[in-house]
Structure 1
Amino acid sequence: MASTTVNGEVGGSAARTGGKRGTGRVGDAASGDLVFTSACRLVRDQSETLSASDAKSLPSIKVSWDQKLSTYIYRTKRFLLSSERVSISGIGMAITSVVMCAEILRNEGFVDIVSIETSMLKSKAQNAPAHQKPVVEIVVERTPQFHERMEAENAARAARRPDRERRAATGAPSGRRGGGNARSAADARPHPRDGEEESEENEDAEHE
């Protein structure tokens, strides 16, 4: 992966990552609460041209650390059904979720990573702490196999739905974790993909 440095692009990812709930919230850059201090962009190759205005026009997903990762994976897939590229960004503690979202989709063959942009934000407010927060924005594009993989995933989900409905009707446990109260502390921690099916169903219900 070749690299290209972008110096102080006002209106880049740092200016577009505000207004989200949770620790990832940074406020509205347009209001003057935040200032863009530095940036570096890594692109897929030297011929790749993705200006700040191009990135700003892309469908954008703002990731918060306190939301399920599966929610953002699902939303990215939904955006890619109608758009070739999607921007995924996050601040501070949300950066890990941004990277995991992009890498899970890439490893499963849904997307290729076009560019990764990093930057730092600091507050200009008088009473604000004098610390900076890191920002990352990853632009992904769907692969040629994206629609084929989506069809296979939807078919598999449809095949599982009757079994889930049967378990719900009988009150039987799903058995995903083995059931019971004997789960270890490691098992009790949420897996990045846990709840993806539930998130997809909830998102579908909201759009209907």
Structure 2
Amino acid sequence: MDDDDRMLRWEHRTELPLALASLLFLASYAVHVLGQGLSDFWHALCLAVTGATWALFIADYLVRWRISGQRLSFVHRHLLDTMVVLLPLLRPLRVVKTYDAVQRRRGQPRLPLPLRVMAYASLSSLLLGFSGALAVLQQERGAPDATIKTFGDSVWWAAATLSTVGYGDVAPVTPLGRTIAVFMMACGLALLGAVTGSFSSWLLQVFARPEETEGPRSGDRSGGP
């Protein structure tokens, strides 16, 4: 059995557990940030769960790196997985990857490619926006002169940032909060570009005339008899 077969078998076995771990991470992190009135036991439990999911992703990454035999090239060939290990905000995106894998395993996807890109980009935006809102709220609510003090403020800020609107009425003031903001801006530009390009491609496919998409026929060539 070659390395590719071993990698596929490992990914098929772990994609669902890792997706559930991503959701568990997001839930425990949300409880830790939003549950200010909870006891120290529950906060410690939430931190233990987030640490366990991080260890699980690191173990999966190391196993797949060992199976692939690609050494350092594995890092840039599996960029999303590398970023998921390094940046906790991206762990919920494993859910999008798992959903795509399940759809492909069942056969031909129901939606055409442009609509799938728009659907996945929208789901990624929701997951990133929620995770970013939690992370910024955790950093900002106790800072002096902070404008992001409630979860509603952080959700409003995340929506304005990911959509590249940037009203500026609320903004992070801490160094880590601003670092998260830069990351969210970059993700917003990438996702917006993917959605816009896919939507334009889909419109062209819908409204294009048959003769424009099929090309010239053999009997229609200029200069023919």
Larger helix percent? 2
Instruction: Return the TM-score normalized by structure 1.
Output: 0.25
Larger strand percent? 1
The structure that has the greater radius of gyration is 2
Instruction: Return the TM-score normalized by structure 2.
Output: 0.24
